A and B are shown apart, each in its own frame.
Chain A
Amino acid sequence: MASNQEATKTAPAEHEPAPILQQMGIFAGVLFVSSLISPLFPKSFPVPTPVIGLVLMYVLLASHIVKLYQVEKMADFLISLIAFLFVPSGIQMANSLNVFTDNGALSGVMLIVTIILATIILLVVIAYTTAGFMAISRKVFHKTTDIQ
């Protein structure tokens, strides 16, 4: 039973999820094809394999070549694992902690403060900018922005 059916206008009716190996096969295939496309981009405009893969998977779904029930279970599982899969990236900082101490302790602290502020700035500025553009759509172009 595919979950989250309330939101899927485009999805077919309830369908048994595809066997897990088949789902893995689709993921592996999309990643492999993406890894062939990625090197075609110029060095000054890098587009890594997983970003191409995300777009490719979306295109496959939107064009109904791949059905939601064929990838949904695997996708939900992988997304639920993201925080854990990021642990090696976090621990990887052990390899380069020196960037914080190279120019003295004070500049290291300032660097961390800047990164923390930058994170908050990105979140808040993007969210407020979006709210602004939504307001313009609503007031100037009379487009309804109510979504469920």
Chain B
Amino acid sequence: MTWVNFFGNALDPKVGGMAFFGIFLSLAVFLIGKYLFKISNGFFLFQPLFVGMVLGIFILWLMAKWFGVSLPTFYQSAYKPGGDILFWFLNPATIAFAIPLYRRNDVVKKFWLEIILSLIVGMVISLFIIYYVSKLLGLNNTMIASMLSQAATTAIAMPISGAVGGIPAVTAMACIINAVLIYALADFLIKIFKLNSDPVGAGLGLGTAGHTVGSAKAVQLGSIQGAMASIAVVVISIVVDIVVPPFAHMMGLF
């Protein structure tokens, strides 16, 4: 018995070690982030989720160096078992957004047509802008194709990305960065783009750009924003399902 065993058989490349380390590390880095956020009076780079992600990867990288294995190998055997358990709880947490949505059913009933039209038209406009911005920044066609479906929830974005000639792993990463970014910058972006005058639009935008994390942020801003972000998470995923493949085809990406 070496002390390596404490880290869930960190040197064992096969998946399925102990989950305790991954769960502990996730909580520890997130709580450190919360503490830093508090003592820095809410500095945006110290958002708990962002700190947790960067610090977590950094600690895993240090430990991988220490044990002389590659970072992905160490991640797979030491962190993933625990991480996967926490990750599973995103399933019930996603369906929980039905509750803020239902609480503002009055808004949904009144504006359902505007909501659906805005998401479809807004998505198509965004696709054009994202396509040309990516081209301008010199991304190749594979990478551009990977950028198109990121508004959908990860489980939809990845297969669609693969279907239009992108790399699913890149798209998954884009989805994660979307969420972390929106959580950190939502207040700032809403202020400089003056989005708060229209709570429906702000909510739909947050749910689209930030996925469920953006919706959690929107719930904090107000009940209308929260409800609209929740509906955006569902509707935009379906819109991506329908709109992205013909768009990519039209642009000659596959």
A interface residues, Cβ below 8 angstroms from B: 4, 7-11, 27-28, 30-31, 34, 43-51, 53-58, 61-62, 68, 71-72, 74-76, 78-97, 99, 103, 107, 110-134, 137, 145, 147
A128 vs B126: C-alpha distance in the bound complex, in angstroms? 11
B195: which of A4, A113, A119, A127 is its contact (CB, 8 Å)? Answer: A127
Verify B61–A94 contact, CB threshold 8 A: yes
- Mostly, the A contact residues are helix
- Tell me if A116 and B169 are in contact (CB < 8 A): no
Interface centre among B49, B90, B94, B216 (most CB of A within 10 A): B94
Q: How far is the CB of A44 from chain B (nearest CB, A)?
A: 7
**Given A51-B237, A115-B178: A7 and B103 within 8 A (CB)?**
yes
- With A and B bound together, what is the CA distance between A95 and B197 in angstroms? 41
Residue among B84, B198, B210 with the most chain A CB within 10 A? B198
Number of residue pairs across A and B with beta carbons under 8 Å? 345
Q: Contacts A45-B241, A61-B102, A117-B133 known; A81 to B223 CB distance under 8 Å? A: no
Query: Chain B interface secondary structure, helix, strand, loop or mixed?
Result: helix
Closest B residue to A38 by beta carbon equals: B155
Residues B156-171 near A (CB distance < 8 A): 156, 159-160, 163, 167, 169-170
- Contact A82:B212 (CB < 8 A) given known A114-B134, A118-B147: yes
Chain B interfacial positions (CB closer than 8 Å to A): 22, 25-27, 29-30, 48-50, 52-53, 56-57, 60-61, 71-72, 75-76, 79-80, 82-84, 86-87, 89-107, 110-111, 114-115, 117-119, 121-123, 125-126, 129-130, 133-134, 137-140, 143, 147, 150-151, 153-156, 159-160, 163, 167, 169-170, 172-174, 176-183, 189, 193, 195, 197-202, 204-206, 208-210, 212-213, 215-216, 219, 223-224, 230, 232-234, 237-238, 241-242, 245
